[in-house]
Amino acid sequence: MNKLEEYFKKISLNREPANLYNPIYYTLSQGGKRLRPKLVMMSTRFFGGDEEAALHPAAAFEMLHNFTLIHDDIMDNAPIRRGQPTVYKHWNSNIAILSGDALATLALQEMLHTPAQPETIIALTDLLSQTSVEICEGQQKDLDFETSENVSIDDFIQMIRYKTAVMLAGCLKAGAILSGATPADQEAIYQYGINIGIAFQLKDDLLDVYGDTNIFGKPIGGDIRENKKTYLYLRSLQDAQDTDKQQLLHYFSSTNFDEKEKFLAVTNIYEKLDIKHKTEAQIEAYVQKALVELGKISAGNETGKNDFITLANELSSRNK
């Protein structure tokens, strides 16, 4: 990943106008998990592709991911990301929007620079573009849910499939496409990614309530404060008796409550309904679905498959 870090410096550091490129460098230099490029490289290695060429789609997906974070933080009014002020807080919303737009375009440009056959570049670019559109669809669904009174758990899972899972799945499919994997294997690794992506987001929502702020990298309780309809909240509504259900609806009707009071009241209901363990069970169910998809892949080797098994388990048990 050192080459990736050097490349991110090259495309964003000391470029003009500074208020466009400095926020891009600020975002990319914070590191984060670098999960998306790692998935591209893992998949390329697994399917026997050119790892040097894979640096381009790896960079493109990481850039696209960071573009979504810049814009998400504006929409979520999030002050902290990776332990640092978010871009719009460090500069302002207008600068953050423009920098995010530029970063998304740079990601597309980067994918087009992949040293591969034209048909492979077209397939990779189409994958990146489709992933970007689906992420926007998921984000819009998430925003729509804030004012909708009829959101089901199935609706929520479909939303996070687009908002989160398609990015991880796209990274894995990119490595398969670049490596010339069969369409069946491309689809299997994609579906593996969808399922670990859903598990990943469910874990993220769980950590927003039960995580350690110092480890998680951002304040917990944001989903409750902003009335986000997460799996935890929707499962509570489904399982709660009348009194608890009405209390949940009451606290999620406004953002004007005292934050500590609201967080304590909602989490008390979660505890009563054993929501933490129910969410953990759902996470494990999606991990198992991912492993079923992994078993359908005809290419690769057992060592590579074991790496993907380890990855699925690590993502579901992480604390940040």
Per-domain residue ranges of the chain:
1-31+54-113, 118-317
| Domain 1-31+54-113 architecture | Orthogonal Bundle (1.10)
Fold match flag (1-31+54-113 vs 118-317): yes
Task: Report long-range pairs for 302-307 (Cβ below 8 Å, ≥24 apart).
Answer: 304/42, 304/45, 304/46, 305/46, 307/42, 307/46
> Which position has the token pair 């309904």?
273
Q: What is the CA radius of gyration of the chain?
A: 20
How do the pLDDT tens digits run along the chain, 320 residues long?
678 888 888 888 889 999 999 999 999 998 778 999 999 999 999 999 999 999 999 999 999 999 999 999 999 888 888 889 999 999 999 999 999 999 999 999 999 999 999 999 999 999 999 999 999 999 999 989 988 889 999 999 999 999 999 999 999 999 999 999 999 999 999 999 999 999 999 999 999 999 876 666 567 788 999 889 999 999 999 999 999 999 999 999 888 899 999 999 999 999 999 999 999 999 999 999 999 999 999 987 888 999 999 999 998 888 76
Superfamily of chain region 118-317? Farnesyl Diphosphate Synthase (1.10.600.10)
Tell me the C-alpha distance between 156 and 228, whole Å. 11
